[in-house]
Amino acid sequence: MLEDRQTAPSAAPWPTAYPEGYAVVDVETTGLARDDRIVSAAVYRLDARGEVEDHWYTLVNPERDPGPVWIHGLTSDVLEGAPLFQEIAEEFAARLAGRVLVAHNAVFDWSMIAREYARAEREAPVRQRLCTIALSKELGLPLPNHKLESLAAHFGVVQQRAHHALDDARVLAEAFRPSLRAAARDGLRLPLLECLPLTEWTDRATPRIGRQSGGYSSGGYASGGYPSGSWRPSRKRPACPYPNPGRYEPGKQLKQGMRIAFSGDTSTERDLLEDRAVEAGLHVATSLSRLTSLLVTNDPDSGTSKVVKARQFGTPVVDEAAFGQLLGNVEPASV
């Protein structure tokens, strides 16, 4: 575990609505699936203007196959003596407390962290996250793609050990600072999203530590050639057997065949919510269109593409709790 501390320069006019501090995070993992585990984690704490306050790094024993050793370099032998996540959870939380979590493809890092805290029967003290991919789009940076290496090259940041959590976090912190200042200069609204802890989730069986096959790392995810969209592997579902009856009308029941889309964090694991919707006879849509009956989101003020489209199309919106109540009384499809 490593630390350093720097003194921030004198303050200049700054948007008062911006956060007071950031935690730039990178985690390396055994893979991309929901049952995968963190094998290393790094946090660079930054002040309101993006200046480094300190940094921290740790290995984590995933209690299973370490996954793509050829990417992150962490073998079973190295990880066997590392602390378990529950043993570093308190210190990790102290690094995140009161700060906006910043990551490259932040939905992935946050989802892995939230799941590890759920396993440890604890809650990460994170309320908002900021994705540097989304920020680079807001700034209109002329990047060839959304890999971390491209963002680093744009700002002249040199990568020393790609896919090493500490170096990836350092690179991101150095690229985030000028991005943040450019956003402040232009008066941009930061693309902050709400973070919800998992309170209901499932784990699939995982292989024991020792087998080194398959998997990916988050450092490679959106920074080494892997997809940069949703972190969840797509699931093949049977086609909904009922026709779409149209949009949901507030105050009425859902009806079998309605197209339901989800956006943002949910306290119940997304797969569980989707499974329950399918079991009730609803059509789970991966995107939002004019045919979508209802959007479920806990953050209706966010700027996600689904929320933006829902506003454009006038699609009804409810939160997770309201959707759970509606699921209990879905009207059968018309014969």
Q: What is the mean pLDDT of each run of 10 residues along the chain (335 residues)?
A: 43 84 97 88 98 98 92 93 96 97 94 93 94 95 94 96 95 98 95 89 54 39 38 67 95 95 90 90 95 95 90 95 92 84
Alpha carbon 210 to chain centroid distance? 28
- Structure confidence at residue 334 (pLDDT): 80
Q: Which of 207, 120, 299, 77 is nearest to 308 (CA)?
A: 299
- Structure confidence at residue 35 (pLDDT): 83
Whole-model pTM: value is 0.76
Pull the structure tokens for residue 151: 């963002």
* Residue 248 burial (CB count, 10 A): 23
For residue 219, give the amino acid letter: G
Domains detected in the chain: 22-194 (3.30.420.10), 259-327 (3.40.50.10190)
